[in-house]
Structure 1
Amino acid sequence: MKRCHLAYLACTTVLVGATLGATPAAAAHKTLVVHPGQSIQKAVNAAQAGDTVLVLPGTYHESVTIKTPRVTLRGTGSSTVIKPAPVKAARTAAPTCAGSGIGICVIGTKTKNVEGVTVSDLTVTGFSRAGVFGMATDTMTVRRVNAVKNAVWGIAQERSVHGIIQSNYARENGDAGVFLANTINEEAGAYDAGETLLEHNRLENNRIGITVRRLRNLTVAENAVGGNCAGVFVVGDENKPKAGDLTVIGNLVNANNKSCPKTARLPKLQGSGIVVTGTEKVRVTGNVVTENSGTSPLSGGIVLLKSFVGVTTEKSRVDDNWLAGNSPADLVNTETGKGAGKGNVFEGNSCRTSKPAGLC
């Protein structure tokens, strides 16, 4: 029998994988290879748990929905590009993804999260909502993805746990480069993100580099965030449980000085490094925050304030950060005086200016 790789061509001939040692052929994970002109979605539909869909260099005009657990969708780097389908084709596509203006959707159900899906090594650009979007996922990994010029978010997750958002490049997206939330379309208390990790990403020239909204139990670590209107935005509101109990550590947050107009939810944004609002038990530590300057109510290096519905920020710790050249100040704490949030601590920070004075 002619030897073959454990692979088969999507939308063409299916090759049966050879056995490896004593492992039954039926148990072997397969790689489905997609060539330019072929359909990524058809390959994903054919994939079983544990399989990889490998997308070769080229531009693919489609949206992709993944609902099968432990499937890997992998490109070959920036030369694998996913863009929206032509308008006529998009109208006939599945409403859960293409019809919603999303490039890659990873979707579970209301009762069961889809587990272990990985999206990596490709570019997603030009979508009217988001490049990569996960809802009801468990241990979804997004790695080495270029999310560029999508109208709302580069990479987004909601109602998901144990996520790994790592080593991606999100730039020129209309809202956040990376957006993590409990739910997007309804009011609800903070969601336990199950130790979700957002690390080693590069976020540039978005409206907001990273938004963490109404979540608990996650880490934002060692990201490079620059050239946005706001760098890192951790936000809660009046719903219970309260957002917080998370860590922002070791990030480089520099010159987020692009100006963005006000919206229905937020005032004008400009010159915000790290903003923490309406939350509790947030630790901001070991970050380098420089040259963030603006005249927005949210401007400054590291800013603690009430949410815009009046919810206080409480029991948070800002320590061991290095700050310079931020305006109106390196550290800004509006949680002072009557009605202010209690238990916030500023300690061991290297900085020159603060509002009120004495925080450096």
Structure 2
Amino acid sequence: MPTRRVHHLAAATAAATALTTLLATLAAAPAAHAVGFLHVVRPGESIQRAVDAAHPGDTVRLLAGTYPGSVRITTPGLTLRGAGRDTVITPGTGTENACATAGHGICVDGTEAAPLPDVTVEALAVTGFRRNGIDASGTTGLTVRATYVHDNAQQGISQEISTRAVIVGNRSTGNGQSGVFLANYAYREGGAPDTGGTLVEGNELTGNRIGVTVRRLRGLAVQGNEIRGNCGGVFVVGDEGVPRAGDLDVRHNRVVANNLFCPANPRLGAIQGAGIVLTGVEDARVTDNEVRDNVGTSDFSGGIVLFKSVVGAANARNTVTGNRLSGNSPADIADRDTGSDNAFSRNTCARSEPSGHC
């Protein structure tokens, strides 16, 4: 037999053997998880069990109904989607997971060193929790959309040490602190990091202590929101920390009749009739907002108010321009700060403190 034919037969036999081995291995291996798998949860079933079984990119879909128990998300790229306001998450035993132990409704948990990416929470209601309705920490690219977060004891939607969030089209009402709360850290000090373009847009924020609070952050926008019937509308809060809070936009919001009275707490004085308030902030832009009928007698009362921070840090280089103000008392625009380099221009209003800012 020619040598070449022997070699060819040996090669063909080896290839057939390899193919048979590969097919046997594939047959014995478990099926790969499909990207974007849908997990459907019905009332009476465990949301947490479905979340824990999900892989990155999956969707956990909740049918209409009431679901007792907190939910903790640690899977990147997960979507938790309800059927709208008829999907309601309420407190359970309080011991089902770390989120429940902390007193929150839905937790999205990464870390500062390894932020959890691209989680979406949408089209559901969260109510009755002793702390925050939706609590996010150590995330990047989080989306919270079309939720109804109401009557929670602290924040409605809360986020800390996170970047690139989109909080859009939510209704947050009747919460003990802020409808939307954004901070560097919720419970410790530190300079103001850049959020990389976090957006708070198109939300309805009513009946809270404050509609939107932005504390010690930079590089974000609060825009196009309906903010009414709170004690205060928008608070942008900074201090002497470095980098300082600021370089952000508050624009195109409707801030109306935030006239509830909220007594002082250990961090902040009493609040009533406060529209948009800057304290200890630099390089912020407050533009093209409708601010009217905010009336009260607290230090923060008025339409657009600049006030020194709780540690006495002055506002610096902020611009207040193109806003439409009316019916605010004691003033439509009030600069009650010691800073002298804040700019006011093209605002339509009747009264300012001091005069000349309208």
Settle same-fold status: TM greater than 0.5: yes
1:203 aligns with 2:205: yes
Name the structure 2 match of 1:301: 303
Gaps of 5+ in 2: 1-30
Tell me which protein shows more strand as a share of its residues: 1
Q: Secondary structure at the match of 2:136?
A: strand
Q: Secondary structure at the match of 2:101?
A: helix
Alignment of 1:90-101 (within 5 A): 90=94, 92-95=95-98, 97-101=99-103
Name the structure 2 match of 1:53: 60
Deviation at 1:26, TM superposition (A): 3.8
Q: Which string of whole-angstrom CA distances, capped at 9 and with x for unpartnered residues, describes residues 39-85 of structure 1?
A: 00000001111100000011000000000100000000000000000
1:71 aligns with 2:78: yes
Root mean square deviation, CA, Å:
1.0
Alignment of 1:215-294 (within 5 A): 215-294=217-296
Name the structure 1 match of 2:134: 132
Give 2:191's match in structure 1, choosing from 186, 189, 192.
189
**Is the CA contact 2:35–2:56 (under 8 Å) kept in the aligned structure 1?**
no
1:159 aligns with 2:166: no
For 1:28 and 1:154, the matched residues in 2 are separated by 32
Name the structure 1 match of 2:45: 38
Deviation at 1:94, TM superposition (A): 2.1
**Is the CA contact 2:88–2:127 (under 8 Å) kept in the aligned structure 1?**
yes
For 1:26 and 1:79, the matched residues in 2 are separated by 30
Deviation at 1:25, TM superposition (A): 6.6
**Is the CA contact 2:112–2:161 (under 8 Å) kept in the aligned structure 1?**
no
1:62 aligns with 2:69: yes
Gaps of 5+ in 1: 1-23
Q: Which string of whole-angstrom CA distances, capped at 9 and with x for unpartnered residues, describes residues 188-227 of structure 1?
A: 1112111000000000000000000000000000000000
TM-score by length of 1: 0.90
**Paired residues, number:** 328
Name the structure 2 match of 1:343: 341
TM-score by length of 2: 0.90
Deviation at 1:111, TM superposition (A): 1.6
For 1:296 and 1:204, the matched residues in 2 are separated by 19
Name the structure 2 match of 1:7: none
Name the structure 2 match of 1:4: none
Deviation at 1:334, TM superposition (A): 1.5
Name the structure 2 match of 1:359: 357
Tell me which protein shows more helix as a share of its residues: 2
Q: Which string of whole-angstrom CA distances, capped at 9 and with x for unpartnered residues, describes residues 90-111 of structure 1?
A: 2x3223x100110000000242
For 1:257 and 1:110, the matched residues in 2 are separated by 37
